[in-house]
Structure 1
Amino acid sequence: MRVTDDGRGALVDDIPMTQTAPSPAHPVQQRYADPATEIPGEWNPVLEVLHAHKSVRRYLPDPVSPATIRLLVSAAQSAATSSNLQVWSVIEVRDPARRARLAAIAGGQAHIEQAPVLLVWTADFARLRQLADDHGAPLEGADYLESSYVGFVDAALAAQNAVVAAESLGLGTVYIGALRNDPEAVAAELNLPEHVFAVFGLVVGHPDPAEGTRVKPRLPQAAVLHHETYDLPVQREPIAEYEQRIGEIYTDQGLPFSWTERTLARLASAASLNGRHRLRESLAARGFRLH
């Protein structure tokens, strides 16, 4: 059992397989750690991959080919993009020394160095600004919060497509939000021009079978699925049920923290953000004006 700091100010629990209790049989039941969850009448290989997702934090040294990365990027480019603006880019980082420096920025996350590839996803307005300059066209709309928001959303949509593609090929992945601990250092390391901001990293590699993690259960749908209008009070009961369900897993693995305690600790203070309380300042320094 490992408990590590993921560089984001929160404890990460890598939950190994345990023999103390049988796991629910169907992937949907495994996602909620609840054998009473209804088994869906419809199923296919895509749904299988989606429900089997888990973050991988131990990797084999086996290489991932450039052709595979190109395939992941084509899957990423198949994601939706607002108004077809395509305001994102991704930097493929293979150099071990550069990955080591980026790992240090991210709080010393060893898996960034273990895996052969780190993909850094960016909100990218430099491309459109260069296009506007080439055509002598105004680009005032790019200075507003809405446009920056679109860049972050587009990058996330693209990256998640890449994750699903990678996992369908038997690869493992884990997001690295801790690159935002020091956006200026990441920009310098990757030679990012103004108007390009590193949103997060994505480790890609071959999972080490010795890690043995299993699917981490999520909140019951009763806490996240609303009908017609939003209902806050009704969430208390399913959250309490979830607390017990995931708490049993934590206890079984010797973890003293409940999901509620972990969640509240993550947002307890600016210090728990590990430098990311400066995000507005960092965005401004990178040319994102956020009017």
Structure 2
Amino acid sequence: MTQTVPTPAHLVRQRYRDPQPTEPAQWNEVLRVLHEHRSVRRYLADPVSDDTLRLLISAAQSAPTSSNLQVWSVVAVRDPRRKARLAALAGDQAHILQAPVLLVWTADFARLRQLADDHDAPLEGADYLESSYVGFIDAALAAQNAVVAAESLGLGTVYLGALRNHPENVAAELNLPAQVFAVFGLLVGHPDPAEDARVKPRLPQGAVLHHETYDLAVQRAHVAEYETRIAEFYAEQQLAHSWTERVLNRLGSVASLNGRHRLRASLENHGFRLK
């Protein structure tokens, strides 16, 4: 049976559920991979080889990094028992156990601290909130490069913010030294085709793209339009909530943060001074 190759216009429409898609002015394979991104939460047992992992990390290291500081590291977890313990800390998500590898991306100042100690040099600038931001941003940029690389190879991925639910326990499990903080996890594996993971539509560009100055007032109409479009997706996934309900439930109370309201204290406990 011949599989139909989706057109660029179809892929853009899929990302927005736009009833009147237009043909993109330009297109290439990278754009196709980006537009086909979807979160995968069911995986086959097939392993991800060391060669593939090295390729994903070299793609990650090809990402921009502020002042070439490279203040991130990643821990690859394959051991089923360790994954099970991390899954328990991250809300018992079953796909953590299924995926062959869990990549834990960290903001890492221990390497630079060690360098400063070796040279008997100060590192006062690392103690400020700005530097912590750099670590988190560098880790995110690197991880997203790895996502694109993995999906270009036919692998599936999903991020795990829930590793921040119990950061001290995650640090102990991974033997993270002071000034190394687990920012998020990323599962990588071969998607189970039975899951039929779909591309989740995003807000219309009119809600996120501003020209010259920011305009909040115009966003209401675009958000209302989005509610209609994403309702189709939620119905296909047999989910009852609207996007607005999901947003308000997710951020409506401290309890909904699942322990992540302690992030500042957790960072300080792990050597991030946040001046």
Determine the C-alpha separation between the residues in 2 that align with 1:228 and 1:54: 31
* 224, 227, 239: which one aligns with 2:223: 239
Are the counterparts in 2 of residues 24 and 33 from structure 1 also a CA contact under 8 Å? Answer: no
Q: How many residues are paired up?
A: 269
Q: Which amino acid aligns with 1:178?
A: A
| Maintained 8 Å contact 1:25/1:35 | no
Q: Which of 152, 162, 183 in structure 1 is aligned with 2:136?
A: 152
Partner of 1:9: none
1:243-254 correspondence runs (5 A) = 243-254=227-238
Q: Distance in 1 between matches of 2:257 and 2:171?
A: 19
Task: Establish whether residue 259 from structure 1 lines up as the match of residue 227 from structure 2.
Answer: no
Q: Output the amino acid matched with 1:91.
A: V
1:35 to 1:270, Cα distance in 2 relative to 1, 3 A: same
Moved more, 188-197 or 241-250: 241-250
Amino acid at match of 1:167: E
Q: Say whether 1:163 aligns with 2:168.
A: no
Letter of the aligned partner of 2:173 in structure 1? Answer: E
The secondary structure found in structure 1 opposite 2:73 is strand
Cα distance in 2, alignment partners of residues 84 and 254 from structure 1: 45
1:188 corresponds in structure 2 to 172
Q: Distance in 1 between matches of 2:195 and 2:237?
A: 14
- Which of the numbers 106, 113, 117 marks the counterpart of 1:133? 117
Contact 1:24/1:35, CA 8 A, preserved across alignment:
no
Instruction: State which of 248, 255, 262 in structure 2 corresponds to 1:278.
Output: 262
Q: 1:183 to 1:250 in 2, by over 3 A?
A: same
TM-score, normalised relative to structure 1: 0.91
Matched residue SS, 2:218: helix
Q: For 1:54, which of 38, 56, 75 is the aligned residue?
A: 38
Distance 2:43 2:196 in 1: 11
Q: Where do 1:198-213 residues align within 5 Å?
A: 198-213=182-197
Residue 290 (str. 1) matches residue 255 (str. 2): no
> Offset at 1:213?
1.6
Q: Judging changes above 3 Å, is the alpha-carbon distance between structure 1 residues 255 and 77 closer, same or farther for their aligned structure 2 residues?
A: same
Between the aligned partners of 1:229 and 1:265, the Cα distance in structure 2 is 30
Aligned-CA RMSD value: 1.3
Amino acid at match of 1:54: R
| Structure 2 portions without partners, runs of 5+ | 1-6
Identity across the alignment (%): 78
1:24 Cα deviation (Å)? 9.9
Code of the aligned partner of 1:112: I
**Aligned equivalents of 1:253 and 1:193: distance in 2?**
41
Measured in 2, the distance between the counterparts of 1:271 and 1:82 equals 34
Question: Residue 35 of structure 1: CA displacement?
Answer: 3.2
State the AA in 1 paired with 2:167.
P
- 1:175-221 CA distances to partner (integer Å, 9 max, x unpaired)? 00000000000000000000000000000000000000211100000
Please identify runs of 4+ aligned residues in structure 1 that moved more than 4 A.
none
Aligned to 1:112: 96
Contact 2:8/2:23 (CA < 8 Å) preserved in 1? no
